[in-house]
């Protein structure tokens, strides 16, 4: 029997989720506090429409899995309610905007014997998967240093009359725009020991968060590196890249969305002829990261059905939040 789903939050990203849910299961219900958004998505897929998560959970006992696509600051509230209602949960990034909330979500999953996962679609980009394999088999040797660049554009229209850019519901550019890069840092190179950071808001006076930041990181492994990010790239996204320097090889994943193998020089190894990645998510006046939600849902179903199946876990999501909190905490001291 195909799994049954509900979606909480019917904004742009919810459409990506609904498309993929329709391939692996059945979308039974949708919810949004803006009735028009819920009605529009519900009509496409023949799903029941709700304007409150509580009402949805009370009236949809057949739902197995809930996809959380609400604003960042509501992820914890919505996920915990779903877990308490005995639903498995797939949460859009970030898992939460505080480690405290992320831990509460994980506790709710354990207490209710349900599974909690987070969307980390950039793990499925072909060059990312190739570099992960190199790291796992030791082909790059001892990792010495790294460089992460995130040079994107978000115009004023992106933030206008929106939860985006607010402290309470957005949390910061590292949560909303660049948490995938932090996830890949943790997934590939392990945990962070300490950070030094500076953040600024130069071009977006109406928002409560930063639009630019520079970070120096030291990993528990001893590797050091930098994270340089901005949403002020003129007119369009410029680059999303991750370079890794090992004593047996150097690689750089680049392009606008970590979608190209820009450079590789590795002892005894040559990476070439990688499969083409999916196109970026299009949102009208800007583009987001790679659209790998097909792979997210294929693996989600397997992870729920098969104990121990490797998939982006709540712990992975919590570690991303923890690293971002370290960066913001150090910046606040400046």
- Has residue 299 been placed in a domain? no
Domain boundary (118, 148, 169) is at: 118
Q: What is the pTM of this model?
A: 0.94
- Has residue 111 been placed in a domain? yes
How many Å apart are CA 227 and CA 62, to the nearest integer? 44
- Has residue 327 been placed in a domain? no
Q: Which domain holds residue 130?
A: 122-281
CATH at residue 210:
3.30.360.10
What is the C-alpha radius of gyration for the chain, rounded to an integer number of angstroms?
20
- Has residue 290 been placed in a domain? no
Residues 306, 67, 51, CA angle at the centre, nearest 5°? 150
**Is the same domain home to 97 and 78?**
yes
Give me the tens of pLDDT residue by residue for the chain, a chain 334 residues long. Answer: 899 999 999 999 999 999 999 999 999 999 999 999 999 999 999 999 999 999 999 999 999 999 999 999 999 999 999 999 999 999 999 999 999 999 999 999 999 999 999 999 999 999 999 999 999 999 999 999 999 999 999 999 999 999 999 999 999 999 999 999 999 999 999 999 999 999 999 999 999 999 999 999 999 999 999 999 999 999 999 999 999 999 999 999 999 889 999 999 999 998 988 877 656 555 455 455 557 999 999 999 999 999 989 999 999 999 999 999 999 999 999 7
What distance lies between CA 190 and its chain's CA centroid? Answer: 17
- Has residue 308 been placed in a domain? no
Beta strands across the sheet bearing 224-230: 192-200, 212-219, 224-230, 143-151, 239-246, 249-254, 260-266
């Amino acid at each position: 029997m195909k799994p049954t789903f509900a979606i909480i939050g019917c904004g742009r990203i919810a459409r990506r989720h609904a498309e993929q849910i329709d391939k692996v299961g059945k979308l039974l219900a949708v919810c949004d506090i803006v009735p028009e958004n819920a009605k529009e998505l519900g009509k496409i897929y023949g799903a029941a429409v709700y304007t409150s998560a509580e009402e949805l959970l009370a009236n949809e006992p057949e739902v197995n899995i809930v996809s959380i696509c609400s604003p960042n600051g509501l992820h914890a509230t919505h996920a915990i309610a779903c877990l308490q209602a005995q639903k498995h949960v797939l949460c859009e990034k970030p898992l939460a905007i505080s480690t405290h909330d992320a831990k509460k979500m994980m506790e709710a999953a354990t207490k209710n014997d349900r599974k909690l996962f987070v969307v980390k679609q950039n793990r499925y980009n072909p060059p990312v998967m190739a570099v992960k394999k190199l790291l796992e088999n030791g082909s790059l040797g001892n990792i010495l240093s790294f460089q992460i660049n995130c040079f994107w554009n978000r115009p004023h229209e992106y933030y206008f009359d929106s939860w985006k850019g607010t402290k309470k519901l957005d949390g910061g550019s590292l949560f909303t725009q660049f948490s995938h890069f932090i996830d890949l840092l943790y997934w590939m190179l392990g945990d962070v020991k300490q950070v030094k950071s500076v953040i600024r808001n130069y071009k977006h006076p109406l928002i409560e968060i930063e639009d630019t930041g520079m970070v120096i990181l030291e990993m528990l492994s001893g590797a050091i590196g930098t994270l340089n990010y901005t949403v002020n790239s003129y007119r369009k996204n410029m680059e999303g890249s991750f370079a890794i320097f090992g004593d047996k090889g150097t690689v750089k994943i680049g392009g606008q969305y970590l979608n190209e193998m820009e450079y590789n020089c590795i002892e005894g190894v040559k990476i070439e002829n990688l499969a083409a990645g999916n196109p970026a998510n299009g949102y009208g006046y800007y583009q987001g990261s790679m659209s790998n939600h097909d792979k997210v849902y294929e693996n989600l179903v397997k992870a729920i059905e098969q104990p121990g199946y490797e998939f982006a876990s709540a712990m992975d999501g919590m570690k991303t939040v923890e690293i971002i909190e370290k960066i913001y905490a150090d910046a606040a001291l400046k």
